[in-house]
Amino acid sequence: MYPEVRKILTVEDQKKAIDAAIADNDYMTLPTHVVEKNGEIVGAWNMASVPLVMAWHKSDSIKARDSFILRNQIDAIMSDRGSPMYFLACNEKSNYYEHLEKFGYKPHWKTNLFIKE
C-alpha cells in the first residue's frame, strides 16, 4: 500500500498527527495534512499555512525601545489576522537573537530553512 495524504479537518486529527510526530522525535506544529500508510500516521505536513513573521531592521538604526514598539505592532497585526500564536524567523547573527526569549518568544525547532525557486 502506498502512502496517502489527506487534509486534516478536525482538531482531534491534528492532535493525532502532532502526537505521532512527537513519538518519532520530531516536533510538527500546526499540521494541515496527514500522511497515512496502512492506517498508520507516518507523516504530517503544513501546507502554506504557517503563521510566520520574517523581518529585517537595519542593525545600526533600530534601538531597544524601537524593538519593543515594533514587537507590539507585530503582535497586533498577527492577532488581527487571527494568529495570536506565530513563528518569528530570526537569523543567529541578528541583534535580536539574544533577546528573543526576554521578549516572550520560545526557541521552537532548530532547523534549516530551504527555498524552492
What confidence score (pLDDT) does residue 112 get?
80
Q: Give the residue from 35, 48, 41 showing the smallest Cα distance to 6.
A: 35
Task: Let me know: does 38 contact 78? Beta carbons within 8 Å.
Answer: no
Query: For residue range 29-40, what is the model confidence (pLDDT) as tens digits?
Result: 889 999 999 999
User: What residue ranges do the domains of the chain occupy?
Assistant: 4-45, 52-99
Instruction: Work out the average pLDDT over 5-10.
Output: 97
pTM: 0.72
Q: Measure the CA–CA gap between 15 and 89, rounded to whole angstroms.
A: 24
Task: Quote the CA–CA distance of 104 and 108 in Å, as a whole number.
Answer: 12
Check pLDDT > 90 for residue 69. yes
